[in-house]
Amino acid sequence: MAKDVSLDGRVAVVTGAARGLGRAIAERLAAAGATIVAVDLPAALGDIPDTWQHAPIDLAHDDADKKLAQLAARLGTVDIVIANAGLVPPWRGLDALDRAEWDRVMRVNTWGVAATIGAFSAALERSGHGSIVAMASINGYVAHPKQALYTASKHAVIGITRAAALDLGPRGVRVNALAPGPIATEALLARLETRQKAGGLAADAALKDLAGGTALDRLATPEDVANAAHFLASDASAGMTGVILPVEAGLS
């Protein structure tokens, strides 16, 4: 492995690490030599590898920022933070919004990202090569019908990333974000199955349609996203900050 992408001896905190894209990213960083600290809901952490450290934190709770700060103080120095945890709400039109759902999603997807960055900023500064990777989405710069809440939250993640890059750059900490397109995770498949039950396309057909709209004629994979996260976390991207990196197989 090239020295500039090796993560040997580095500590990586990954929120939402137990499943989905967070799990794929954590596994990729671990394969590159990083020590993983998995942050996730208490019930989700039972399935993580024994070699990973863990911290049960629900980012929707009022005390999440305090628990994140306590974790940062315990670790002392952190080299990488992947602010991945997020919620994907059901599709809703603007005439059918749910206030409680809106508040919970925005709390996790926006406050959770900002609070994570803030809690670990000093620990990352001590690293000397601190790197933060936030999880945005293609919905951070385009919109889709009946996804106002998710779209708003991911637009906010891009704003948080760019502002944090300016705030933390003078302290030697880089802040970038990934913007994945549709990824065939369990969460996406469940939403497509829900649509199918409501009279929409079969899940397989919907996936084929999504793939057909890309330059590569396939969907990006969790491994694609994990590789991009590894690049942004490593010294290979040392000259990059404030960047929103699409991982979507060339959506037209």
Active site residues: 150
Report d(CA 98, CA 217) in Å as an integer: 36
**Best CA proximity match to 228, nearest among 155, 159, 153, 133:** 133
Residues with Cβ within 8 Å of 85's Cβ and at least 6 positions away in sequence, in order, are: 15, 16, 22, 39, 40, 59, 108, 112, 116, 135
Report d(CA 31, CA 136) in Å as an integer: 24
Report d(CA 130, CA 124) in Å as an integer: 5
> Are residues 113 and 140 in contact, defined by beta-carbon separation less than 8 angstroms?
no
Question: 80-83 and 131-135 as β-strands: parallel, antiparallel, unpaired?
Answer: parallel
